[in-house]
Amino acid sequence: MPSTVLQVALPRPLPQAFDYLPPAGEAAGADWIGCRVRVPFGRRALVGVVTGVGPAASGTPALKAVDARLDARPLLDGEAWDLLGFTARYYHAPFGEVWATALPGPLREGDPAPEVHPQRWRLTPSGLAALPTLRPGRPRRVAERLLIEGALEAASLDAAEAGSRDALRRLAERGLVEATHAPPPPRAVREPPELNDAQRAAASAIGAAKGFTPLLLEGVTGSGKTEVYLEAIRGCLARGRQALVLVPEIGLTGATLARLQAGLPVEVHAAHSGRSDGERARAFAAMASGAGRVLVGTRSAVFTPLPEAGLLVVDEEHDASYKQQDGVRYHARDLALVRGRSLGVPVVLGSATPSLESLKAAIGGRLGRLVLPKRARPGAQAPTVRVVDVRKRRLEGGLAPELVAALADTVARGEQALVFRNRRGYAPVLLCHDCGWSAPCRRCDAHMTVHAGGRRLVCHHCGATQPRPPACPDCGSLALQPQGQGTERLEEALQAALPEVPVVRVDRDTTAVKDGLARRLATLGDGPGVLVGTQMLAKGHDLPGLTLSAIVSLDEGLFSADVRAGERMGQLLVQVAGRAGRAARPGEVWLQTHHPEHPWLALLLSGGYPALAAALLAEREAARLPPYAHWALVRAEAPVEAAATAFLGAVVDTIAGGPGLSWSGPMPAPMARRAGRARVQLLLQAEQRPPLQAALAAAVPGWYDLPEARRVRWSLDVDPIDLL
Ligand code: ADP
Ligand code: ZN
Ligand code: ZN
């Protein structure tokens, strides 16, 4: 029996690597490290990654052998491999899970790394010579198309004329066409606008940066941050380096991708949820091979290998979607900074409304600061803001009459408006007007949301759904009324008030399909109309015809228990406001609230986001809240609360104290029950990161084996961004 074994990490919530023998006749050596292997695990086969070779752990029973080695060379090596190790250590996550998170689906499942460029077909020299002699028919038409277009994918030929694949096969048999994986020819580039002084200063600061240089690009909405990224990326390409641009999860990706592609002479690869798994795997392989030069992607793209990295950009760096909320709870912006340091390249964090973490770092001098103070389009100005006090007002479908009138004026001028409400569905609550009963979810601590024009109830937390009850289950009354407005109901009210123009709703329910958001925005076109929707609308869309933005209710944002409520409210308000008046026509912003005197609102109106952010930072510092403290949240869920509490009690016993380290809990989570499970949490707090990290490093590996762990689902969230 060979004395060395392969240590294999598996995509399972288990902290340790597993020992396997190499396949019969092969020897375990260092060249296996980083390569994928298929191994037997229990009754199934899993794909894992070799993390080491060494002597078998003593006392292990008879070891099984690896079924197959899947790579000759590692998919992730060098700096990209080290990033996985950092992520596993910092978030105290199993290495196998981190590795699986970093890979596109097909690679995680063991598929071979795809060809970098899709297979395309072209005429061979003999095909070119023979073309005039071909009989009229499909093969000849295919050959003619290839003559005109150069090289084409079989799929696009087939889309132009069904049956083309068959014709290709016959042409290939005669040696008249051949498959190629050569890169597509360079693209024509849109002429960039002439940068203004602030843009030019920012772009040259990025271009001049040597080595690791973290920079905060603080540009008001519409200030032209994308043009700065483009200029910086062109410089990076000219130096022969690769660039990675991270974008938030929903909404923005398609638009940003199109703008970057139009402004760059190379193919821009994309890795986001709108792309098929195959395309993501191809983008990964292209960047890893160096053939790909620019990648635009969401959160997990931060793990893509970049052997010739020159620039990392995180657009809308404040966006919460950079933080993964399940599995490995990493923050892509923070990892981008870690990568920038080990790669020795500049990292640009762009936002109109930077996170308090980044602002604090900028104030402390750890992030350089680049500012774009004005809107970029000639003539574009900051919008005017009106606060509508809706106390004791009669509203029409949730809207103040003067807002409805302003919307009517806007569309009458041929312009567009946006109405924002952070609640999808018809109404947030179904209420009995006679006894006060309101429809609860049986499995969650939450109300059910009314959907489908009032006919269905849906729980937004567990997905439970049921028809609306015909009568109140408590008192039998028929006076059941949907309370408040969701986007569906607003759409109805707006369409009734503005029957002449399209009212287009944009939320998770209307954009679930591929490219749904882009298609919804396209239905509006350039003509007059109204967009109504959630969060998705707040993100960087550039809609030149939009001149009015309205927030239907600011109040939930003002009174949430979340420590980040103020920051989020300010970001949302500024981003929604930022959609209006981006071109020559002036914009107006309407805010409906029952609390017009709220101090956060007053700060925003007098000094904008910077004033609010400064006040919130001072509050956080006084209260020793993040970013002036470091947190880790342990959550446990179980059918009975006692089991979850017992687990967290046992967790507390594993935590050795440390300087400035404290904890609160176990205590019920703000949402104490979800999907039929009790939720309990433990919050670890520390003044400095190292004692917290040391305590976790010592304790977490033991949590998997606690007897109490068997009765719960638990997770650890380092630097949590919400405590719900
Ligand atoms: P941001 O991302 O900062 O909100 P964008 O990059 O979307 O801003 O730019 C807003 C608009 O201004 C876009 O339509 C863009 O084409 C235009 N723009 C940007 N820079 C310039 C410039 N230097 N001159 C003219 N128009 C510009
Ligand atoms: Zn009732
Ligand atoms: Zn529920």
Q: Are 679 and 669 in contact (CB under 8 A)?
A: yes
Mean pLDDT of 710-723: 93
Beta 456-458 vs 449-451: how paired, if at all?
antiparallel
Q: Residue 226 CA: which ligand 1 atom is closest?
A: 6
Q: Are 254 and 274 in contact (CB under 8 A)?
A: yes
User: Is residue 538 over pLDDT 90?
Assistant: no
In the reported structure, the alpha carbon of residue 243 is separated from the centroid of ligand 3 by a whole-number distance in angstroms of: 42
Q: What is the CATH number of domain 630-718?
A: 3.30.70.600
User: Is residue 1 over pLDDT 60?
Assistant: no
pLDDT at 252: 53
In this structure, the residue with its CA closest to atom 5 of ligand 1 is 224
Report the share of the chain in percent with pLDDT over 70: 96
| Alpha-carbon 225 to chain mean position | 19
**Could you give the strand order of the β-sheet that contains 4-9, starting from the edge strand earlier in sequence?**
18-20, 4-9, 44-55, 36-41, 68-69
pLDDT at 656: 86
User: Is residue 580 over pLDDT 90?
Assistant: no
Q: What is the DSSP string of 83-114?
A: HHHHHHHHHT--HHHHHHHHS-HHHHTTPPPP
pLDDT at 709: 95
pLDDT at 661: 92
CATH superfamily of 4-76+95-106: PriA, 3(prime) DNA-binding domain (3.40.1440.60)
For residue 627, whether the previous peptide bond is cis, meaning omega lies within 30 degrees of 0, is yes
pLDDT at 186: 65
Decide whether any atom of ligand 1 lies within 6 Å of the 164 Cβ.
no
Q: Are 682 and 648 in contact (CB under 8 A)?
A: yes
Which ligand places an atom closest to the C-alpha of 477? 2
Decide whether any atom of ligand 1 lies within 6 Å of the 222 Cβ.
yes
pLDDT at 688: 93
Decide whether any atom of ligand 1 lies within 6 Å of the 256 Cβ.
no
Residue 650's closest CA among 719, 720, 702, 692?
702
State how far the alpha carbon of 396 is from the alpha carbons of 37, 379, 391, 418, 591, in Å. 63, 35, 14, 17, 15
In this structure, the residue with its CA closest to atom 4 of ligand 1 is 222
Q: Which residue shows structure tokens 């709220």?
A: 598
pLDDT at 121: 86
User: Is residue 81 over pLDDT 90?
Assistant: yes
pLDDT at 130: 87
Q: Within the chain, which residue ranges are assigned CATH 3.40.1440.60? A: 4-76+95-106
Give tens-digit pLDDT for 209-227. 999 999 999 999 889 999 9
* CATH of 197-372 among 2.40.50.140, 3.30.365.10, 3.40.50.300, 3.10.129.10: 3.40.50.300
Mean pLDDT of 566-592: 86
For every residue of 542-565, which 3-state class applies, written as one string?
A: CCCCEEEEEECCCHHHHCCCCCCH
pLDDT at 394: 86
pLDDT at 462: 93
pLDDT class of 469 with cuts at 50, 70, 90: very high
Highest-confidence range of 2-16, 520-534, 661-675, by mean pLDDT? 661-675
pLDDT class of 417 with cuts at 50, 70, 90: very high
pLDDT at 157: 82
pLDDT at 250: 65
Which ligand places an atom closest to the C-alpha of 458? 3
Q: Within the chain, which residue ranges are assigned CATH 3.40.50.300? A: 197-372, 384-427+484-620
pLDDT class of 395 with cuts at 50, 70, 90: confident
In the reported structure, the alpha carbon of residue 536 is separated from the centroid of ligand 1 by a whole-number distance in angstroms of: 20
User: Distance (Å, rounded) from C-alpha 300 to C-alpha 595?
Assistant: 39
Supply the mean pLDDT for the chain: 90
User: Is residue 352 over pLDDT 70?
Assistant: yes
In the reported structure, the alpha carbon of residue 442 is separated from the centroid of ligand 3 by a whole-number distance in angstroms of: 7
Give tens-digit pLDDT for 449-465. 999 888 999 999 999 99
User: Is residue 373 over pLDDT 60?
Assistant: yes
In this structure, the residue with its CA closest to atom 2 of ligand 1 is 225
pLDDT class of 540 with cuts at 50, 70, 90: low
The CATH-assigned architecture of domain 384-427+484-620 is 3-Layer(aba) Sandwich (3.40)
Give tens-digit pLDDT for 474-484. 999 999 999 99
* Least confident interval from 222-236, 380-394, 482-496: 380-394
Q: Which long-range contacts (CB under 8 A, 24 or more apart) does 554-558 make?
A: 554/591, 554/592, 554/593, 554/595, 554/601, 555/593, 555/594, 555/595, 556/422, 557/422, 558/593, 558/595, 558/598, 558/600, 558/601
For the entire predicted model, the pTM comes to 0.89
In the reported structure, the alpha carbon of residue 480 is separated from the centroid of ligand 2 by a whole-number distance in angstroms of: 8
In the reported structure, the alpha carbon of residue 462 is separated from the centroid of ligand 3 by a whole-number distance in angstroms of: 4
User: Is residue 172 over pLDDT 70?
Assistant: yes
> Which helix (H) or strand (E) element contains residue 644?
helix 641-654
Q: Within the chain, which residue ranges are assigned CATH 3.30.70.600? A: 630-718
Residues 6 or more apart whose CB falls under 8 angstroms from that of 132 comprise none
User: Distance (Å, rounded) from C-alpha 231 to C-alpha 222?
Assistant: 17
The string over 49-86, giving b where at least 16 C-beta atoms fall within 10 Å of a residue's C-beta and e elsewhere, is: bbbbbeebeeeeeebeebeebbbeebbbeeebbebbee
Best probe residue, ligand 1, of 259, 372, 542, 549 (max atoms within 8 Å of C-beta): 542
Position 249, amino acid: E
User: Distance (Å, rounded) from C-alpha 342 to C-alpha 21?
Assistant: 34
pLDDT at 526: 84
For residue 666, whether the previous peptide bond is cis, meaning omega lies within 30 degrees of 0, is yes
| Alpha-carbon 85 to chain mean position | 22
Phi-psi category of 723—alpha, beta or left, where left has phi over 0 and alpha has psi -120 to 50?
alpha
User: Distance (Å, rounded) from C-alpha 458 to C-alpha 451?
Assistant: 7
pLDDT class of 380 with cuts at 50, 70, 90: confident
Surrounding ion ligand 3 within 5 Å at CB are 441, 443-444, 459, 461-462, 464
In the reported structure, the alpha carbon of residue 479 is separated from the centroid of ligand 2 by a whole-number distance in angstroms of: 8
Decide whether any atom of ligand 1 lies within 6 Å of the 195 Cβ.
yes
Decide whether any atom of ligand 1 lies within 6 Å of the 545 Cβ.
no
Give tens-digit pLDDT for 126-147. 888 888 888 888 889 988 888 8
pLDDT at 60: 65
pLDDT class of 251 with cuts at 50, 70, 90: low
pLDDT at 189: 79
User: Is residue 517 over pLDDT 60?
Assistant: yes
User: Is residue 119 over pLDDT 80?
Assistant: no
In the reported structure, the alpha carbon of residue 158 is separated from the centroid of ligand 2 by a whole-number distance in angstroms of: 61
Mean pLDDT of 400-429: 93
User: Is residue 536 over pLDDT 90?
Assistant: no
- Residue 449 burial (CB < 10 Å; 0-12/13-18/19+)? buried
For every residue of 452-478, which 3-state class applies, written as one string?
A: HHHCEEECCCCCCEEECCCCCCCCCCC
